[in-house]
Structure 1
Amino acid sequence: MRVAFVTGEFPLVSQTFIFNQLAGLIERGVEVTVFSLWGSPREDGVEQAVVQDYELVERTRYAPQVPRSLGARLSSGSRCIAKVFRQNPPAVVRLLNPLRFGRRALSLRLLHEAVPLLPRQDYDIVHCQFGDLALSALALRDAGLFKGRIVTHFRGYDISQFVKTAGPQVYADLFARGEFFLTNCDFFRHRVIELGCAPERIAVLRSGIDVGHFAFAPPPPPSDGVFRIAFVGRLVGKKGVEYAVRAIAKLRSAGREVELDIVGDGPLRASLEALIDELELRPWVHLHGAQDHDGVLGTLAAAHVLAAPSVTAADGDQDASVNTLKEAMAMGLPVVATRHGGIPELVEDGVSGFLVPERDSGALADAIARMCDSPDLWQTFGLTGRRRVEAEYDMHRLNDRLLDVYRQVASGNREAAAWTGRPVIVPSQARL
């Protein structure tokens, strides 16, 4: 089977779900090519071993980046037009049609995105890793730059922030002509159906982790009386890290011995540092920046509670079930999170962790305090969480399921591909 992945910037450390799918397909004998429509990341900073082990960059074809200035864009666009014209003259005319493609045609973006698809190739499946990328893929297929059935995977911003900006009809043509659709949680599946996707052409395929990589080891109570709270994620609006900082301030004001370790980087770092200074928390809130996976696991292993206070960002961006939550639960680490997006599908309130409302630092502080005061629950919560992750988020099972979806879609059997049954939670194989 020949499969093409359509991505934005690649490889991004925040998109390990793409690496895991690629590795799983390669292990299963699938011939995979990655098309990066937005080029390699300008800033990333952390290498993933899987990218090197499976030579993912070597499997990637990169589109020229679209310059910001008009002059440079016209110059770059002229070169792209010449490259595409030499191999597919009609494609140039189609991709420059503003009546069909609007700003994407006028900005010459589609012509830039066409370059890595030369010469034309035939694929069984073209897997677009976000909905907005599928809009480009559909246009490029229409222009005759590749042949293949398009599978679109909605993952977060593309079904929240992007829809808010582009309008609720943005995917109408894709829903009509794309072959199949996936989401990474039930919450987003219902959202996509509300936007017009036929229910029989969409299934949930969650983002998985290698559960066997995580030893089950619920933390013991702190020997020094200091409870360490961990936050892991990009410093962007939807991750809600500011509410974790404010919760720590409330806990310390109440006489609680707590500290917060923040792993991650992003555009909100400066404002977060200002908040830490404003609340006079420098001795107890530690910004570690971005870390590789071993560094993240070290932070989780040293923590007593993971906080995941995700919120709906001002631009509408939302989360599915957060990967770090899965990793923490696989390790048996107690978790406190928000009722947000796909998180309640992973964390069951009072059973495998505590859930609180979005943007409520007081409720978050109360839940953390309750968790710290209940070490007798840690083993029970940890075991329940581990079983949930094993049953529904094991990447090996999910990669088998992905390959099955491909085969069904390639054969035209959409009903079988759209199976939505949930696996039964089986007894844990965690190392106790």
Structure 2
Amino acid sequence: MKIAFLVDQFPSVAETFVLNQIVGLIKLGHDVHVFASKSASNVEVHDGYKKYDLSKKTHYYRIPKNKILRILKAIFLIVKYAPTNCSVIFRSLNIFRYGKQAGSFSLLFMSIPLLERGPFDIIHSQFGTLGLTAMSLNQFLPYKGKLITSIRGYDVTVFLKKHPGAYHKLFREGDLFLPVCEFLKERLIQEGCEEKKIVVHHSGIDCSKFEYVQRQRVSGEPIKVLTIARLIEKKGVAFAIEAVSRLLSKGEKIDYSIVGDGVLREDLQQLIKSMGIERQVKLLGWKTHEAVKMLLEESHVLVAPSLTAESGDQEGIPNAIKEAMASGLPVISTFHSGIPELVTDGVSGLLVPERDAASLADALAYLISHPEICNEMGKAGRMQVEKRFDTNSLNKGLEELYLGLVQET
């Protein structure tokens, strides 16, 4: 099959799940192309990026920000492609049907790479917001690919809060919707999507790349706590910092490493400084995949204090939790979105209410004082991820979903 992936940024250190799907489908023998709005500065996020020469399979829209340059480039594209693809070019400019996307020439710029490299059997958008663009493109491209839309959190929480009913037409024209957890599936149904068009398809990780490590703590040494997250509100990192500070003030020995970056980094750094815990709590920024694996192997507990942001933004199921569980780490997280579908409270980790630093501190204190429980939880977590979240099994399942749609035509 020939498959088009529509993403916003590629490659992205925060979205290795997209790379996992692309590489997995290529391994299964499919011709996968990636269409993106912008590139990322860090391409060392997946060993498959270079191995499969994905730079040659990635196509950027390259829409000029400068209005004059955009108009000039649009005229060039119209002159170049209109003689052979008149219908596509002029329908992409239909402002009465497509509004701002047509008037800003966005659809024109987006349609050219898909036109040049099509036809595609599958057009798979990695977020609901991109599904709207894919729907418009599919209406005037000279071929009709099956429209698949992955739903990951923001796209049915914040976006729909700002734009109620925005997906109603997509629900009618889309062929399949793939929320990453049952929680998001229920949100889609509430918004009016037919249940028969919905299949929960988890984002997976390659378990073979994460070594299961049974931890042995050395008496008197600090417990190593780890968080891997974008530094944005819904990740709840400030509450984890407060929880660690509470335990440090009681004499517990903790080294807390936070991997990730984002708009809240400066605020979090100031919080750490105000609490006087700079020596024990470190913001490490983004790390390569190999460096993250090493940190997972060296740590004792992963803390993922996800919460619902003031904007309504919510998680699906964070991949960082899956990677930690695959490495044998017990997890402390929250009763948030799809996380309880991954972490079984009291079995593979501990779950606490959102925005509750005291409960986070209690959970961490419990694991510090019960090291034997940590290894039991780590083993249960590894088994859970291998059974339900291994990317190789999930990619084969995705392939079957694609084939089922293609064979319907």
CA contact (8 A) 1:87 1:118 kept: no
User: d(CA) in 2 for partners of 1:350 and 1:120?
Assistant: 50
The equivalent of 2:87 in structure 1 is 90
Letter aligned with residue 266 of structure 1? G
Partner of 1:320: 316
Alpha-carbon separation, structure 1, partners of 2:354 and 2:68: 45
Matches within 5 A, 1:20-169: 20-36=20-36, 38-41=37-40, 43-44=41-42, 46-67=44-65, 69-119=66-116, 121-167=118-164, 169=165
Report the counterpart of residue 12 of structure 2 in structure 1.
12
Residue of structure 2 equivalent to 1:430: none
Q: Give the alignment's Cα RMSD to 1 decimal.
A: 1.8
Taking the aligned partners of 1:229 and 1:218, their CA distance within structure 2 comes to 15
The residue type equivalent to 1:94 in the other structure is R
Larger CA deviation: 47-56 vs 85-94: 85-94
Contact 2:151 2:180 in 1 (8 A): yes
From the superposition, tell whether residues 86 and 136 of structure 1 become closer, same or farther in structure 2 (CA, over 3 Å).
Answer: farther
Would you say how many aligned residue pairs link Structure 1 and Structure 2? 409
Match of 1:214? Answer: 210
What does the per-residue CA deviation read over 1:107-150, in whole Å, with 9 as the maximum and x for residues that have no partner? Answer: 32222212212336222211111111111111111112543111
Distance (Å, rounded) in 2 between the aligned partners of 1:83 and 1:315:
44
Percent identity between matched residues is 39
Partners of 1:72 and 1:117 lie apart in 2 by 22
Distance across 1 between alignment mates of 2:218 and 2:302: 15
How does the TM-score come out when normalised to structure 1? Answer: 0.90
Give the TM-score normalised by the residue count of structure 2: 0.95
Kindly indicate whether the alpha-carbon contact (under 8 Å) linking 1:340 and 1:358 is maintained by their aligned counterparts in 2. yes
Q: What is the CA–CA distance in structure 1 between the aligned matches of 2:354 and 2:369, rounded to whole Å?
A: 22
| Alpha-carbon distance in structure 2 between the residues aligned to 1:338 and 1:141 | 39
In 2 relative to 1, CA 93–338 (structure 1 residues): closer, same or farther, beyond 3 Å? same
- 3-state SS of 1:205 partner: coil
* 8 Å contact kept, 2:3–2:31: yes
Aligned equivalents of 1:144, 1:284: Cα separation in 2: 56
CA distance in 2, matches of 1:343, 1:103: 37
CA contact (8 A) 1:250 1:365 kept: yes
Alignment check: 8 A CA contact 1:66 1:109 kept: no
Q: What's the offset of the Cα at 1:66? A: 4.4
Give ranges in structure 1 of 5+ residues lacking alignment.
Answer: 414-432
Contact 1:305 1:336 in 2 (8 A): yes
Structure 1 residue 62 displacement after superposition:
1.4
The separation in 1 between residues aligned to 2:284 and 2:19, in whole angstroms, is 24
Q: Distance in 1 between matches of 2:84 and 2:231?
A: 43
Residue of structure 2 equivalent to 1:248:
244
Larger CA deviation: 177-186 vs 211-220: 211-220
d(CA) in 1 for partners of 2:56, 2:138: 24
Matched AA of 1:126: I
Paired position in structure 2 for 1:300: 296
Q: Is the 8 A contact 1:329 1:385 kept in 2?
A: yes
Residue 163 to residue 363, structure 1, CA distance change in 2 (3 Å):
same
Q: State the Cα distance separating 1:76 from its structure 2 match.
A: 4.0
1:259 aligns with 2:255: yes
| Alpha-carbon separation, structure 1, partners of 2:83 and 2:267 | 50
Letter in 2 for 1:406: Y
- Tell me if the contact between 1:51 and 1:57 (Cα under 8 Å) persists in the aligned partners: yes
Q: Which amino acid aligns with 1:156?
A: G
**TM-fit CA distance, 1:370:** 0.9
